[in-house]
Amino acid sequence: MKVFDENHIRNIVLIGGAKSGMTTLAETMLYEAGLLNRRGSVEDKNTVSDYRDIEHERETSIYATSLHTEWRDHKINIIDTPGLDDFIGEIVSSVRVADTCVMVINAQYGMEISTEIIWNYVEKFNKPAIIAINQVDHPKSDFEMSYDSAKKRFGSAAVLMQYPVNQGEGFDSIIDLLKMTLYKFPKEGGKPEKLPIPADELEKANELHNELVEKAAENDEELMELYFEKGSLDEDEMRKGIKIGMLKREIVPVFCLSAKRNMGSGRLMGFIDNVAPAAFEMFPEISVEGEEISCDPSKPTSVFVFKTIIEPFLGKINFFKVTSGVLKVGQDLVNNQTDNVERFNQLFIMDGKNRQNVEKLVAGDIGATVKLKSTRTNHTLHDKSVSFELVPMEFPEPRIRTAVRAKEKNDEEKLAEALREIHEEDPTIRFEYSRELKQMILSAQGELHLAVTDWKLKNVYKIEAEYYTPRIPYRETIQKPSSASYRHKKQSGGAGQFGEVFLKIEPYFEGMPEPTEFSVRGKEEVKLDWGGKLVFYNCIVGGVIDQRFIPSILKGIMEKMEEGPVTGSYVRDIRVMVHDGKMHPVDSNDISFKIAGAQAFSQAFRQADPKILEPIYNVDVMVPEELMGEVMTDLQGRRAIIQGMDGRDNYKVISAKVPLAEMHRYTTSLRSITQGRASFSAKFAEYSPVPFDIQQKLAETQKEESEV
């Protein structure tokens, strides 16, 4: 396969809402360039991009798929992404390595909430963007509304490059404001006829063309001087200004097309290869160490792995972007995270499931390889002469959690291994065995995300799993001081066991004064793995308990803190003063004082007005303004505390603190309330006391379970 240099490579990612037509556009771009003899369709389940069984079943993209096409001596790498935010991990990794984001908007709906969420990552990675308003041939197409929704979001940066003359079912003509030409397409689509702009459209086209000229000129002083001198700019000068504006993210060009009928896609591709920035024109990559890594073929080779998939017959495939230098077949690179040397025995250009071998890839290109031993998503590999790590991607926190187990007990290990592989492919799927909850907890972005994971378990790994309500990781603490003692005495012939411990416990908070009622001989602060602290004081005087038994008392207390007496949850934020006790010259030993310390602590805890704490999450819900009332009512029914509301165009963002116990299946509820037009994010905030009536119910439930 032909190797392209850095000047002739463009990397784009297709992003947008569900049913916006990204997969159809990708298919059309490959067909338009002559790489396909006939176009597939989502309905016929034969597109290059959506090639997996699960995508055929659901008739929607689940995975980000790498493709490429060639257009006028340029190679355009295309990544087709899912349109549902359940699969945001696929979108994040794709945006990270793209140089231009093509936001595909359905002309019936304009900017949607899912589009807003995706756009946050475009801004985060500081990527240039193009808007492609698709499906202008639909009977309900509303190009003006769609463009207005883009202007509301991007302001004056959203600049028309084209507009449709006759949108709707009769659509066949586009006026191009850069070339000032009317493109008239044949009924079956394809190559258009270039015609003069009709007289009844000329005034509008001239006005919009002048706006485009001004926008191109204002991004460069030299162009601005030319504009003042000539009163206009020629086409090449406009291209230069538009590119500068895109790099500064002060111009977001807006195109119109019908991907399904192949009308306008060729013009979009021409703009991508002629105007959209190449990788070497982008800002340099930044390493964790703060070093700039420029996209330069003459520099030492480095690659960034942005995606990993595991195919049944091929094994693990790593997708990467060459961030500097030239990568050749047989080349060795050092994995910065593992220090392992990895050999690239094969290099591929991937088009869906199809692979094309290449001998080398230059800086800025995207490729794939197999059989790397210890390389994962987010890893940086580089030449032995340098050492750095490129800033890794941060994936969003899960929004839904469930407990999971294999239906067949013999499959438990297989289930854990399968989930490990699924997480390697998709870092937004997380799982862990919680020793605290005694459950395998599976976390994901939404119900559909979980459904796809279950499909993989059944169809790829042949594992039947069952899902059930996860327990809540409560915490226990106390509200007042309490004292207790415990004597452990056991005699069973020969040496016995004896230990007696007197202690006092108090609620702990940062900055509280040191105890004065006892003489402190030693202090130990234990930062607990589950949050909070235990502060342990040795206040023994007169040698009533030998110093060597003090660690055993602490160990017994720590064991009790791992299983609180009210709900069996972890205990936190307590200080303990061991101030008296007794020992036996023969029968006292470590186990005796461990038991005595544990039992004394347990008794004191029950007398200290125990309090259950629950995890609280910061939740932000993005919802259309007209549906805000229903969402607020639902949140308040979940014991939410509304923190505020923020307006964003036609949407409202509701910020609230919500107990985790009330978030179960919230994704399903929100989708039902808003007909799928809202989205939310959730992040752990703090632990807070549960209401008294709920604490009573939890204590009763724990008592019933312990008696079973």
Share of the chain above pLDDT 70, in %: 99
How far apart CA 463 and CA 468 sit, in angstroms, is 16
For residue 333, count other CB atoms closer than 10 A to its CB.
24
Report pLDDT for 494.
Answer: 67
C-alpha 409/C-alpha 431 separation (Å) is 18
Dist CA 114 CA 17 (whole Å): 6
For 459-486, what is the mean pLDDT? Answer: 96
* pLDDT, mean of residues 353-379: 95
Of the pLDDT bands very low, low, confident and very high (cuts 50, 70, 90), residue 625 is confident
Classified as helix, coil or strand, 355 is strand
Least confident range of 518-527, 576-585, 695-704: 695-704
pLDDT digits (tens, 9 = 90+) for 502-530: 999 999 999 999 999 999 999 999 999 99
How far is 437 from 449, CA to CA, in rounded Å?
Answer: 23
The pLDDT value given to residue 647: 81
Q: Name the percent of the chain lying above pLDDT 90.
A: 83
CATH 3.30.70.240 in the chain is located at: 613-694
CATH no., domain 476-608: 3.30.230.10
Read off the pLDDT of residues 413-432 as tens digits, 9 standing for 90 and up. Answer: 999 999 999 999 999 999 99
Within the chain, all domains assigned CATH 2.40.30.10 are found at: 285-382
Structure tokens, 696 = 């009573």
Q: Can you tell me the distance from the alpha carbon of 8 to that of 471, in angstroms, rounded to the nearest whole number?
A: 54
Residue 519's closest CA among 475, 561, 578?
578
CATH ID of 285-382, from 3.40.50.80, 2.60.40.10, 2.40.30.10, 3.30.1330.10: 2.40.30.10
pLDDT band at 677 (very low <50, low <70, confident <90, very high): confident
Delimit the CATH 3.40.50.300 region(s) of the chain.
Answer: 6-281
For 286, the 3-state DSSP assignment is strand
Predicted local confidence at residue 118, as pLDDT? 87
Residue 493 has pLDDT above 70, yes or no: no
Q: What is the mean pLDDT of residues 648-663?
A: 89
pLDDT of residue 405: 96
Poorest-confidence range of 116-120, 164-168, 304-308?
116-120
On whether the 400-471 domain is CATH 3.30.70.870, my answer is: yes
Q: How far apart are CA 334 and CA 332, in angstroms?
A: 7
Longest dimension (CA), the chain: 113
Distance of CA 483 to the CA centre of its chain: 48
Res 130: pLDDT: 97
At 448 the pLDDT is 93
At the top level of CATH, the class of 613-694 is alpha beta
Q: What is the mean pLDDT of residues 388-406?
A: 95
- Reported as a single tens digit per residue, the pLDDT across 535-567 is 999 999 989 999 999 999 999 999 999 988 888
* φ and ψ of 453, to 5 deg: -60, -45
* Residue 392 in this model has a pLDDT that exceeds 90: yes
**From-to residues of CATH 3.30.70.870 in the chain:** 400-471
Q: What pTM does this model have?
A: 0.89
Secondary structure in 3-state letters for 84-127: CHHHHHHHHHHHHHCCEEEEEEECCCCCCHHHHHHHHHHHHCCC
pLDDT tens column, 76-93: 999 999 998 899 999 999
- One-letter amino acid for residue 41 of the chain: S
In this prediction, residues 254-283 reach a mean pLDDT of 95
* Res. 255: pLDDT tops 60: yes
Rounded to the nearest 5°, which phi and psi values hold at 588?
A: -75, 135
> Mean pLDDT over all residues of the chain?
93
User: Residue 401 contacts by C-beta under 8 Å, 6 or more apart in sequence?
Assistant: 441, 442, 443, 444, 470
Asked whether the predicted pLDDT for residue 649 surpasses 70, the reply is no
3-state secondary structure of 634: helix
* Tens digit of each residue's pLDDT (9 = 90 or more) over 133-157: 999 999 999 999 999 999 988 889 9
Residues of the chain with CATH 3.30.230.10: 476-608
What is the CATH code for 6-281? 3.40.50.300
Query: What are 63-75's pLDDT values in tens digits?
Result: 999 999 998 889 9
